[in-house]
């Protein structure tokens, strides 16, 4: 099989990349062993936020003090499985070092802001072209709540940096929160409303719909796993798969948490780890927040989707192969029951997936070091869905030799080799 470009992975990033390429008139093959938008993918199970203000990395200065607690408490908001600690120690060290000062966090925030700044609009535009406008609400805004202003002050560091990079918000008191979110527990008496952000009403259906749109434009799909690359004179000539080789002059690695081996074959050693995330969803026309809400003290997000109400959160460092610890989902169910007291959570469905995460919270976007024509587009961690629209544009621009619309140098895989040196 021959194509202009092969896209490896049919998650949010791969789907957006494929759309951009086929709409540009290229012959594209999408390589994916599973079904686009199905429940094996991180893009299926996320919190559905189009949060253009998600510019603060997971780690912040002083977070190293919490490491003993992460190891000791397997059910905390961020936990490390003890048996996996030896394998993840290097990643955790870089995770702590990447945000050890306020200046480092501010630099990451500036880079992520450039990637995310107008994401709701970009998603709305591609959704309209794909006939998926009913799945994107680009103007809903997003809400963050705390029990009181004093509790908010514990998180004020990140909000100060958000303001510095141009994020604006409106403060809310308890009465305003209750008026906007009548189903929310009255325990929350201070909040922030970020009007520039939006959300997706069904992430799995959105990703599947994007791939279907690309197919109508000429995309071809191969249900196979990418195994490596063929090259001649340092330039890509094809992608080897479990179902044969796709001859092509460019390829985009967008395989999410399973991108690391392919990146290594293309010349870049990327410290990519799975931040295992969980959710619970109560399906049907049930009580829930009118505006998606992040609950500060519980570190969870509650979103009303087309199919019901979802509570998402938790970070577990345990690798790609370990079985889920469903006790973590039960914690989310209890959080949801207390956040939305009128909601019956006894029939909630549970899920676990793999966020592809780098230590500094920034994705890897750019040309591979070892094979010309291979493009990296993975490692988005907590900003995969929101960041997918612009990342798809950037990956398509890089694959076709165009100048990227933003500077992708900060997202290069080479940043990790420099740190190692």
Q: Is residue 156 part of a domain?
A: no
Query: How many other C-beta atoms can be found within 10 angstroms of the C-beta atom of residue 248?
Result: 24
pTM, rounded to two decimals? 0.96
Same domain, 126 and 214: yes
Question: Domain tally for the chain?
Answer: 2
Same domain, 114 and 132: yes
pLDDT exceeds cutoff 80 at 419: no
What count of Cα atoms within 13 Å lies in the side-chain half-sphere of residue 324?
16
Domain, as residue range, for 251: 5-60+104-141+196-272+358-420
Same domain, 118 and 44: yes
Q: Is residue 305 part of a domain?
A: yes
Q: Is residue 252 part of a domain?
A: yes
pLDDT band of residue 420 (cuts 50, 70, 90) is very low
Q: Which CATH number belongs to the domain containing residue 399 in this structure? A: 3.50.50.60
Residue with the bigger pLDDT between 7 and 43: it is 7
Q: Is residue 403 part of a domain?
A: yes
Same domain, 213 and 228: yes
pLDDT in tens, 24-62: 999 999 999 999 999 999 989 999 999 999 999 988 888
Mean pLDDT score of the chain: 95
> Pick from 308, 339, 354: which residue ends a domain?
354
Same domain, 80 and 228: no
Pairing of the two strands 49-50 and 136-137: unpaired
Q: Is residue 191 part of a domain?
A: no
Same domain, 54 and 129: yes
Same domain, 346 and 402: no
Q: For residue 313, which of 326, 329, 327, 292 has the smallest C-alpha distance?
A: 329
pLDDT at residue number 73: 80
Same domain, 262 and 208: yes
Cα separations (Å) of 250 from 21, 49, 65, 171, 395? 11, 31, 44, 47, 11
pLDDT in tens, 294-319: 999 999 999 999 999 999 998 999 99
pLDDT at residue number 297: 92
Same domain, 212 and 342: no
Same domain, 134 and 237: yes
> Pick from 338, 354, 370: which residue ends a domain?
354
């Amino acid at each position: 099989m021959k194509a202009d470009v092969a896209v490896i992975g049919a998650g949010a990033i791969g789907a957006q990349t494929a759309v951009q390429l086929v709409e540009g008139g290229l012959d594209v093959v999408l390589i994916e062993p599973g079904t686009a938008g199905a429940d094996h993918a991180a893009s299926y199970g996320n919190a559905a936020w189009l949060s253009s203000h998600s510019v603060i990395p997971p780690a912040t200065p002083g977070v190293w003090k919490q490491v003993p607690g992460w190891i000791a408490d397997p059910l905390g908001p961020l936990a490390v499985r003890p048996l996996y600690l030896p394998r993840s120690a290097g990643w955790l060290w870089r995770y702590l070092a990447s945000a050890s000062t306020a200046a480092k966090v501010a630099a990451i925030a500036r880079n992520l802001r450039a990637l995310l700044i107008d994401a709701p609009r970009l998603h709305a535009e591609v959704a309209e072209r794909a006939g998926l406008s009913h799945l994107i609400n680009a103007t809903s805004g997003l809400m963050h709540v705390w029990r009181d202003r004093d509790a908010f002050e514990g998180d004020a560091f990140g909000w100060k940096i958000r303001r510095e990079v141009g994020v604006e918000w409106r403060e809310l008191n308890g009465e305003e929160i209750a008026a906007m979110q009548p189903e929310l527990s009255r325990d929350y008496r201070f909040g922030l409303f970020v009007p520039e952000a939006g959300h997706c009403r069904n992430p799995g259906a959105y990703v599947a719909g994007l791939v279907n749109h690309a197919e109508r434009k000429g995309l071809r799909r191969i249900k196979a796993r990418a195994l490596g690359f063929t090259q001649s004179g340092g330039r890509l000539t094809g992608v080897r798969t479990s179902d044969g080789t796709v001859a092509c002059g460019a390829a985009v690695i967008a395989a999410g948490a399973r991108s690391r081996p392919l990146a290594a074959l293309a010349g870049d050693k990327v410290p990519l780890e799975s931040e295992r995330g969980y959710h619970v969803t109560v399906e049907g026309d049930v009580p829930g927040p009118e505006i998606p809400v992040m609950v500060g003290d519980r570190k969870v997000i509650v979103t009303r989707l087309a199919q019901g109400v979802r509570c998402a959160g938790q970070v577990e460092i345990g690798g790609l192969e370990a079985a889920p610890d469903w006790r973590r989902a039960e914690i989310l169910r209890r959080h949801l029951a207390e956040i939305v007291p009128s909601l019956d959570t006894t029939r909630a469905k549970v899920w676990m997936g793999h966020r592809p995460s780098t230590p500094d919270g920034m994705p890897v976007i750019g040309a591979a070091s070892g094979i010309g024509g291979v493009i990296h587009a993975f490692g988005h961690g907590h900003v995969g869905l929101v960041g997918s629209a612009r990342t798809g544009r950037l990956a398509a621009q890089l694959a076709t030799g165009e100048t990227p619309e933003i500077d992708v140098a900060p997202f290069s895989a080479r940043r990790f080799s420099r740190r190692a040196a």
